[in-house]
Copies of this chain bind each other. A is one copy, B any other.
Amino acid sequence: MTKTNPGRFFEDFEVGQVIDHAVPRTVSGGERALYQALYPMRHALYSSDEFARGCGLPASPLDDLITFHLVLGKSVPDISLNAVANLGYAEGRWLKPVHAGDTLRASSEVLGLKQNSNGTSGVVYLRTRGVNQRDETVLEYIRWVMVRKNDTEAPAPETVIPELAKAVAPEDLVVPDGLDFSRYDYTLAGEPHRFGDYEVGEVIGHVDGVTIEEAEHMMATRLWQNTAKVHFDATFRPDGQRLIYGGHVISLARALSFNGLANAQMVVGLNGGAHANPCFAGQTVKAWSEVLDKAETGAPGVGALRLRLVAVNDASVGELRGEDGKYLPQVLLDLDYWALVPV
């Protein structure tokens, strides 16, 4: 009997299955400090307890993407160890802020399955949930991944493709309890631009760039206890390169977006996302954003911006796709999310 975890293959999933992921995790100021060391993030709400209190929260939460990475990281050994590709995200919602001292665990439910026509792999749709020590769901999102079959003779399952919302509807966004931007301090936040200053269709180039080092993306990925070999073992891929965890690029781009979107404080919805091309150490990542939509929320002084966040390899704002409709090679990430901003 082998004791190591081979991961699930496509034929091991069935619709309706619920998988409880291992390794609950207590977070502290250590995760926060490391996040600040690994990404050029400067959002005031995630940097200062005082600023967060001024916005009606009990203390500064951990960055919403820390929650995302931790929850996704827990799902890797059960879901994507034999993944060929991470295909997309939908219906992501942050439901409760996570604070130092909280303990997170995660589970996933299989929503859909579709075997590929070549019979060697298939697409698995899952809803993953992160839960804290009070059994409150802090995050949920749908992800679909292409997973290899181990036994190519295994029969194809009935095809079930879940209906996915194009975007989280503004009325489904959850504003954290108590959040109040009516006395928001724009000077301390770093920029004067508020809800009314952003126009749908507006594009913001975030100016700054970061050249990625191997040590950094590996430390980040391990911090989320995501242990997929391909990120750490230079002997694993024939080209000797370590593939950078897609979430590292998400956090890098989100942090770079501070410059122009400093007040897009809280990430509350994930509408979709594509890891358009692989990312490797040595690349210089830059980012630009496009305002896709705007919405009001019931909370005092709090509006929501729907944003496209694009990360590119050493390039400025430009086309996303070529004439063939495919992402251009310099595009690393095309993410669609909702953030809360002061009105």
Q: Which residues of A contact B (CB under 8 A)?
A: 1-5, 20, 22-34, 36-44, 47-51, 60, 77, 100-101, 103, 105, 133, 187-191, 193, 197, 204-211, 213-216, 218-220, 222-223, 225, 227, 229, 232-236, 242, 259-262, 284, 314
A-B contact pairs, 25 of them (CB 8 A): A2-B260, A3-B193, A3-B197, A4-B206, A4-B207, A4-B259, A22-B187, A22-B191, A23-B189, A25-B48, A28-B30, A28-B33, A28-B100, A29-B31, A30-B30, A30-B33, A34-B37, A36-B222, A38-B222, A40-B222, A42-B227, A49-B101, A213-B215, A215-B215, A215-B216
Residue from B22, B37, B191 in contact with A44 in the complex, judged by beta carbons closer than 8 Å: B22
The quantity of this chain's copies bound in the complex is 3
In the complex formed, the residue of B with least CB distance to A202 is B3
Q: A24 with B48: in contact, given A30-B29, A227-B42, A284-B234 (CB under 8 Å)?
A: yes
Q: Are A47 and B23 in contact (CB under 8 A)?
A: yes
Q: Are A50 and B225 in contact (CB under 8 A)?
A: no
Besides A24-B48, A211-B233, 15 other CB < 8 A contacts?
Answer: A3-B191, A22-B42, A23-B42, A29-B29, A34-B37, A40-B225, A42-B225, A48-B105, A207-B229, A209-B229, A211-B242, A214-B215, A227-B259, A234-B284, A235-B314
Contacts of A31 in B (CB 8 A): 29-30, 33
Determine the distance from Cα of A57 to Cα of B280 in the docked complex, in whole angstroms: 42
Contacts of A32 in B (CB 8 A): 28, 30
Q: Are A28 and B28 in contact (CB under 8 A)?
A: yes
Q: How far is the CB of A337 from chain B (nearest CB, A)?
A: 18
